[in-house]
């Protein structure tokens, strides 16, 4: 079963616009991570936010975490065509051993 569920499943925007993807999860977590996957490639780690953090930034990426709502969002500002990829959230919970559980992903298309 999937711990995280991304919303929307697919998103199409113009270059320069902002892209927001949401992730909801079901159980208490230790950390939540976001990954990017380009077509035909493996996943690449973007950012990790711990359960006691509310917001983190990395370049054009901004991640928020609301543990009371069991949700997270990933904002990509000033998107570029190169940002076209699938984005996955993944959760780690201490009571799940060393397992990282992934959601189904959001497919982002940035049109030039």
Of the pair 15, 26, the CB lying nearest another protein is at: 26
Judged by CB under 8 A, the chain residues 11 through 70 that form the site for another protein are: 30-31, 33, 35, 40-45, 48
CB neighbour list of residue 96: distance below 8 Å, 6 or more residues apart: none
Please report whether residue 87 would count as binding another protein according to CB under 8 A: no
Please report whether residue 1 would count as binding another protein according to CB under 8 A: yes
> How many angstroms separate the CA atoms of 48 and 83, rounded?
18
Q: Please state, as a whole number, how many other Cβ atoms lie within 10 Å of the Cβ of residue 9.
A: 12
> How many angstroms separate the CA atoms of 10 and 54, rounded?
25
Residues contributing to the site for another protein (CB under 8 A): 1-2, 4, 30-31, 33, 35, 40-45, 48, 88, 90, 92, 97-105
């Amino acid at each position: 079963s999937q711990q995280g569920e991304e919303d929307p499943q697919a998103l199409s925007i113009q270059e320069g616009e902002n892209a927001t993807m949401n992730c909801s999860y079901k159980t208490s977590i230790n950390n939540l991570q976001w990954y990017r996957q380009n077509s035909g490639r493996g996943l690449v780690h973007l950012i990790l936010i711990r359960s006691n953090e509310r917001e983190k930034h990395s370049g054009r990426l901004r991640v928020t975490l609301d543990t009371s709502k069991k949700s997270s969002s990933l904002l990509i500002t000033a998107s570029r065509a190169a940002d076209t990829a699938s984005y996955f959230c993944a959760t780690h919970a201490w009571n799940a051993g060393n397992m990282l559980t992934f959601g189904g992903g959001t497919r982002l298309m940035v049109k030039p």
